[in-house]
Structure 1
Amino acid sequence: MAVPTPLQRRLQGQLIAAAVVSALASWSVPVFAQTVSTTGDTAAPAQPALQPIVVTATPFASEEDVQVLAPAKVLAGDELRNKLGNSLGDTLSSELGVSASAFGAGASRPIIRGMEGPRVMILQNGMAVSDVSTVSNDHAVATEAATARQIEILRGPAALLYGSGAIGGLVNVVNDRIPTELVGKPTGTVEGRYGTVDGEKNSSFSLDTSAGQIGLHVDGNYRDTDNYKIPGNAQQGNPSTASGRLPNSFTHETSGGVGGSYIADWGYIGLSASTLDDHYGIPTSEMSFIDLHQSRYDIDTLVKNPFAGIEKFRFRFGYTDYTHTEKEQDGTPATVFKNRVLQTRWELTHAPLAGWHGTFGVQTEQGNYSALSASSGTSELTPPTRSSSFAGFLVEERQFGQVLASAGLRAESVNRRPDGNSGLAGRDFSLLSWSAGALWAFQPGYGLGLTYSLAQRAPTVEELYSNGPHESTATFDIGDSQLKKETSHNIELTLQKTEGLVRWKGNLFRNKVHNYIYGRTNGQVDDAGNADPSGEFTQRFWSQGDATIRGAEAEVTYNWNGDGFSARAFADTSRGTLDDQGSLPLQPATRYGLEFGYKTGPWASGVKVLRAQKQDRLASFETYETPAYTQLDANLSYTQKWNGVKLTWFALARNLLNQDIRLSTSVLKESVPLGGRNLIVGVRTSF
């Protein structure tokens, strides 16, 4: 596939933006007023309160503040738009307990409480994204945050619902491509923005409408960025390395989706189709880049009260066809990654039985994964491997006076079958996970929660069968086909206040993981894996050991998102260790910060300062200590009505101090800093 020229990219973006604006110009629709309830302390002045945010990835689609199985955070509305980055990891990196892999601008995956890769599941509308971002940090997450209605973060024992891949938590990107409600008039959003640090040009839109009992949805996004500016040198204090801009850190991405559903009193049935194309550079000395394409098809059906004792039945189906090609600097294809996945979920929610209300179901997945040489078609890194899984799950909850109790169980079978010509043996894993927890509302608006869970994870294909050079990461990866399943024992204590002007929450957690799988580096090799001190590849073995991850998170807010003055203070820390072997690799730094906001009439503003401490708790094979940094961000917006449409003009400032920021969770922390001072300006409409 030919790489678009810069002129072609600009024209594509202009055509998309022009088409959307032209379509909107033909409508003159009123702005829908949001109906909200009023909450607060009796002594607090009357004020509008936020509409309760429903977490769709929980078994009962309950509100954000009453989670038992997993503490939740939901980004939506202006908060999501202000935090939007070029990648999912960048968008979520300032949330409690969340960092990012930061492999340049094109590929950055969320890291939750020090757990990364296959331990953090990425969902889109409750179904797995099914890309290959768990395989390596240079692989982008194949979902787009710019067109999302909300992004949900669940930490802790979410494995019961979505599989062993969620042992560390999950992120659910909700874009509502399959409508579940009819709208009286067309509704949607359109946004355009420009960023100075990388010449970002980003246009996105989302539109919902209906015709009779048919709900329709369409969305799209276009993003183009140049190599981004950095405050100093690529390697701190090394004037012989790049300065000014980080070479090969460009991105170019387009995505689009359509969906429709038939909606009636009994429920709905719908389907959607989407496509994503991503072209981005890898900022290493190899100067390689990746061309990514994904096509996705989904079906979602919900039937209310299908028969006695069952409140609803839901069936979901998803098929993903994913390919990306890693190319050398001159454009020569090196390795082709493919992943084709078919997944289904069947869920039944039963009416209360002896006081217990619950959801049970079955989840299946069939996948074909490979990483082959582009020139010969032979196994370059990982042989073609078929994987399948079958799981049954049950989650129940019951109210005992002031105590809301939850319990759940998940049994899963996972099979890996490499190509017969590889000479590698297949593996079968039987996984059993369970959880029990309770939330005690000891005072109105106050809650004390305790959860204990056991979660198991099967080794991934690349952890078992890798054996070859990986150009983009400059590593020679060697798997171990005898790896055992991971077993994690997790305990979490939560204390929270969820009503009034002043709200707060705190979490303490400890995860004890038996047979923790991690990458251990061991010197330089050539492209055949032979020891060579001047070789271009770092040898990396997939190894196992027992590990402990423990930490704490806290947040206090005053009038957060309300009119007038608002404030937020937050902090998080975690530490991961290998028993008797020192620290786990790529652990997040301790962070704390303050945010202040002010809203009056059409104006809204905010400023945030985040301080990250030096990270010197290194694994035995790590050598680089990331220095402390202070990140200062600010935002300003003005909202007006224009021809019946709500129009918001906004300016976002990031890294105002132009700090040299290096994330301890990044494989490239020594040579790839984050971008320097960035001013983003744009306009957003909603109708």
Structure 2
Amino acid sequence: MKKSMLCLALAAASGSALAQVEGVVRDAAGLPIAGATVEVVGTKIRTSANEQGEFSLPQVTNKHVELHVFAPNYTHTTRHVHEGDGPVELVLSSTTLEIVNVIGLPWHASNMESAQPVNVLGGDALRARQSSTLGETLKHEVGVHSSYYGPVSSSPIIRGLEGPRVLVTQNGLDAGDASRVGPDHAVAAEASTARQIEILRGPATLFYGSGAIGGVVNVVDDRVPRTTETFGEWRVQQDSVADDKLVSGSGNTGVGSMGLHLDGFWRDADNYKIPGAAEVETHEEHEGEEHEEEGHEHSESNRLANSWSEAKGFNAGVSQVMDEGFVGLSYGLLDRQYAIPGHSHGDEETDVYADVKQHRIQLLSELDLEHDFFSASNTRFGFTDYEHSEIENGTVGTTFRNETAEARWELFHHPIAEWRGALSLHYKHSDFEAIGEEAFTPPSETGTLALGLMEERHFGDVLVQLGARIEQVKITADNFMVDLNEHEHGDEHEHDDEHAEEYLRVFAIDQESTPFSASAGVVWDFTPGYNLGVSYTHAERTPSAAELFSFGPHIGSGLYEVGALLQLVNDEDGEFHFDLARSDLELERSNNLDISLRKFEGDVGFILNAFYNRIDNYYYLADTGLTRESGDAHDHGAEDEHDHSSELPVFIYQARDAELYGFETEFIWQLAAPFKLSLTSDYIRAQLVDGGDLPRIPPLRLGARAQYESGNWQAELSSQHYFEQDQIDTYETTTDAYTLVDAQISYALRDGLKIYLKGNNLTDEYARVHASFLKDKAPLPARSFALGVSGSF
């Protein structure tokens, strides 16, 4: 009896009667909006309004549907339609803000409809800001900075968090590279062929797992076609600062019901120009003498030595496109070589570069279901084979290999008492190894299996979003080799093979944990054109294999890295050694509160965000103030064939309680039809709870951008001022303030064909990035100009 009642309730909730939905889309003045898109949320059913703004959706088969309506330069709106309501009138207001649907969220939302702050960079804005790295492409987005480890290996920093806390994904799947392991490792995701890039600020663990405790950068492209329509774009560009040449293109088409995609890019750059000395060192000549600061220009012709790069890659995809959705497969190849600046022994510059190759397979499907309870099924599968070699003076020092297999299945249900949501099953397995005489971390495997539930419902003008996720994470390393007392026998035996095993200890590590995340958020449209978003997230993270097992010299980063499973012990004779940590491994736990106030109608719009994030057991790479001979670390089995006489700074992963808080503001004013003014600012304060500042935190920043668009002409002038950063960790140095001024102008030769000129750092500012490990070795590039031609069809 109970089972029968449940079936009746579910049938009533989902509905089965035919309901024809029709109506008209108008603006605030009552004029029709031709081409406005009207779609049924939770399905692939959509249509476009005609010249009179009229639309009809005759194939809807539910008693109750939720419509989502949007058009360029207008706000988005939703409307619940019930059986018997008759024709509906949908009104959209004009907006000066860029409102874009977010693909990387399981539920339907735009950047103005999410309880958590979301940035979406796409279209002309993405092309205008496109750079050689993902971090540099996004560095002017509010709340986002770049780690800047040279011109190619810069990763995004979201609200002061980076590395294993910020997940980089391609179409919702882990990029599968080694960029989360070290700051010198480039992100494999390529921005030149992307359709849009989405930035989820704050914890996004509900959707992507514990690796997204600090946020997500999702690169969206069309490598798996979702349609058989024909469209594409291409670009040719040359930049003066490094003689940087770029050729890229992508295109989609269809043959019958088959969608086809092909894209590719080629980039080549020399060492880049710098406006002053490359390196600034602070040292003590002798005891009792004053500290001196000297500039050493390790460069020729005012160029930063060892900063060149070259890369190429392509993606090919095919899909079966149906009325109920699509199923598609893609293959991608990336081949990249890039130099890593900042390496020197005495007065000689060491040639260190990385050779990266990645093969990537993706299978994506999005299908509507004819089921009384379930409405749609989304499947994502990816396999990535990644290899990254760090080469020093022509010899491979370390090779990183990472094979990642990932699968995510999202099963959506019909509305139940107007609650709409999905069940998510997520699996990911990563097999990571570092091989070579300077391998600083042992081979390890990380497996994750997770179950999540996400729900949302409109209560009049209030949207409620709820979610929870539980994971099972297992990290294993069978060959964790540590020489715990190297200093006691280094002079006597100097690591000869006869005595090495006497002091070497090998551990088998098996760490299991169950991170749990939960989130609650509301978006309140408290008056027309305004809304207030509030979200709270509790998120947990298992520290990564690199954070746990690192022990040895990392030639790319120029650090001697020590994992959290070890602790530093100071000896009575003034020496030091490492021992196993006495405390148990703890999960990193974040409690994050976000508050957003948005105005999105009319000629003036703004977004104001404030956040507070308390993180217990925050794992970070701390400078010990000590140095260690780079050849002292055990090489995990390889013979030492080279003389490594340089001393590297010792950095060790520590777990301390921390709090991060700050704000992000964006103000946009459409002064007149051709003129738009934007003002932005962001600030992060990051402290340890028991006293002290976290290292490498970006400073307060102010930005301004003036845009002009009329006829075939577009122009933009922008400025970013970075304040002095003097809230620093013990062994950090203050970073001076600086201002960067950029400009660009373009002219449309004809429909789809454009020529443009971009200028960066027009004042030739001598600037260093506080968040970079290379702050004192690699300044930002000098003044540059880029000339390009782009086309679309």
TM-score for both structures, normalised by structure 2: 0.78
**How far 1:559 moved relative to its partner?**
2.6
Describe the SS at the equivalent of 2:207. helix
Describe the SS at the equivalent of 2:307. coil
- Corresponding residue for 2:627? 524
Matches within 5 A, 1:139-218: 139-183=185-229, 186-218=230-262
**How far 1:47 moved relative to its partner?**
7.9
The answer to whether the Cα contact below 8 Å between 1:36 and 1:51 also exists between their aligned partners in 2 is no
CA distance in structure 2 between the partners assigned to 1:447 and 1:321 by the alignment = 44
CA distance in structure 2 between the partners assigned to 1:487 and 1:581 by the alignment = 19
- Corresponding residue for 1:491? 593
CA distance in structure 2 between the partners assigned to 1:585 and 1:189 by the alignment = 41
- Corresponding residue for 1:274? 332
* Pick aligned residue for 2:666 from 547, 551, 555: 555
The answer to whether the Cα contact below 8 Å between 2:330 and 2:362 also exists between their aligned partners in 1 is yes
**How far 1:156 moved relative to its partner?**
1.4
**How far 1:177 moved relative to its partner?**
0.7
CA distance in structure 2 between the partners assigned to 1:37 and 1:152 by the alignment = 18
- Corresponding residue for 2:351? 287
* Pick aligned residue for 2:735 from 588, 613, 626: 626
Distance 1:50 1:553, change over 3 A: closer
The answer to whether the Cα contact below 8 Å between 1:344 and 1:363 also exists between their aligned partners in 2 is yes
Matches within 5 A, 1:622-661: 622=732, 624-641=733-750, 646-661=752-767
Distance 1:397 1:241, change over 3 A: same
The answer to whether the Cα contact below 8 Å between 1:385 and 1:419 also exists between their aligned partners in 2 is yes
- Corresponding residue for 1:505? 607
CA distance in structure 2 between the partners assigned to 1:586 and 1:81 by the alignment = 29
* Pick aligned residue for 1:106 from 144, 147, 152: 152
The answer to whether the Cα contact below 8 Å between 1:509 and 1:551 also exists between their aligned partners in 2 is yes
- Corresponding residue for 1:572? 682
* Pick aligned residue for 2:771 from 644, 658, 665: 665
**How far 1:529 moved relative to its partner?**
4.0
* Pick aligned residue for 2:465 from 397, 406, 410: 406
CA distance in structure 1 between the partners assigned to 2:295 and 2:205 by the alignment = 47
Distance 1:526 1:92, change over 3 A: same
Distance 1:49 1:596, change over 3 A: closer
Describe the SS at the equivalent of 2:408. strand
* Pick aligned residue for 2:305 from 239, 243, 247: 247
- Corresponding residue for 2:448? 389
The answer to whether the Cα contact below 8 Å between 1:268 and 1:302 also exists between their aligned partners in 2 is yes
CA distance in structure 1 between the partners assigned to 2:320 and 2:98 by the alignment = 27
- Corresponding residue for 1:13? none
**How far 1:62 moved relative to its partner?**
1.7
**How far 1:278 moved relative to its partner?**
0.9
Distance 1:408 1:48, change over 3 A: closer
Distance 1:240 1:156, change over 3 A: closer
Q: Which runs of 4+ in 1 moved over 6 A?
A: 46-51
**CA deviation map 1:72-96 (0-9, x unaligned):** 1111111101101110000000110
More off after superposition, 264-273 vs 479-488 = 479-488
**How far 1:484 moved relative to its partner?**
1.6
**How far 1:258 moved relative to its partner?**
0.3
Task: State whether structure 2 residue 174 is matched by structure 1 residue 63.
Answer: no
The answer to whether the Cα contact below 8 Å between 2:564 and 2:655 also exists between their aligned partners in 1 is no
**How far 1:239 moved relative to its partner?**
4.2
Matches within 5 A, 1:63-462: 63-68=110-115, 70-183=116-229, 186-236=230-280, 238-243=294-299, 244-285=302-343, 286-329=350-393, 331-373=394-436, 380-420=439-479, 422-462=506-546
Q: Which runs of 5+ in 1 are unaligned?
A: 1-32, 41-45
**How far 1:51 moved relative to its partner?**
8.1
**How far 1:287 moved relative to its partner?**
2.9
**How far 1:603 moved relative to its partner?**
0.1
The answer to whether the Cα contact below 8 Å between 2:95 and 2:605 also exists between their aligned partners in 1 is no
Describe the SS at the equivalent of 1:289. strand
**CA deviation map 1:238-281 (0-9, x unaligned):** 34323510000001011100001001112211100001011000
The alignment-based identity, stated in percent, is 37
CA distance in structure 1 between the partners assigned to 2:73 and 2:720 by the alignment = 31
Letter in 1 for 2:298: A
CA distance in structure 2 between the partners assigned to 1:36 and 1:567 by the alignment = 22
Max radius of gyration: which structure?
A: 2
**CA deviation map 1:130-154 (0-9, x unaligned):** 1110110000000100000110111
Letter in 2 for 1:475: L
The answer to whether the Cα contact below 8 Å between 2:594 and 2:611 also exists between their aligned partners in 1 is yes
Task: State whether structure 2 residue 731 is matched by structure 1 residue 685.
Answer: no
Describe the SS at the equivalent of 1:65. coil
Distance 1:182 1:238, change over 3 A: same
The answer to whether the Cα contact below 8 Å between 2:95 and 2:603 also exists between their aligned partners in 1 is no
**How far 1:369 moved relative to its partner?**
0.3
**How far 1:49 moved relative to its partner?**
7.4
Task: State whether structure 2 residue 536 is matched by structure 1 residue 536.
Answer: no
CA distance in structure 1 between the partners assigned to 2:362 and 2:157 by the alignment = 27
Letter in 1 for 2:777: S
CA distance in structure 2 between the partners assigned to 1:611 and 1:114 by the alignment = 17
Distance 1:207 1:504, change over 3 A: same
CA distance in structure 1 between the partners assigned to 2:372 and 2:309 by the alignment = 53
CA distance in structure 2 between the partners assigned to 1:47 and 1:516 by the alignment = 44
**How far 1:620 moved relative to its partner?**
1.8
Describe the SS at the equivalent of 1:611. strand
TM-score for both structures, normalised by structure 1: 0.90
**CA deviation map 1:580-638 (0-9, x unaligned):** 2310011011000211011110000010011110001111232x211100110111000
Distance 1:289 1:575, change over 3 A: same
CA distance in structure 2 between the partners assigned to 1:345 and 1:64 by the alignment = 23
- Corresponding residue for 1:10? none
- Corresponding residue for 1:30? none
**CA deviation map 1:615-671 (0-9, x unaligned):** 01111232x211100110111000122xxx521100111100100121111011111
CA distance in structure 2 between the partners assigned to 1:221 and 1:74 by the alignment = 23
More off after superposition, 280-289 vs 541-550 = 280-289
* Pick aligned residue for 1:463 from 525, 536, 547: 547
* Structure number with higher relative contact order (C-alpha < 8 Å, ≥ 6 residues apart): 1
CA distance in structure 1 between the partners assigned to 2:320 and 2:96 by the alignment = 33
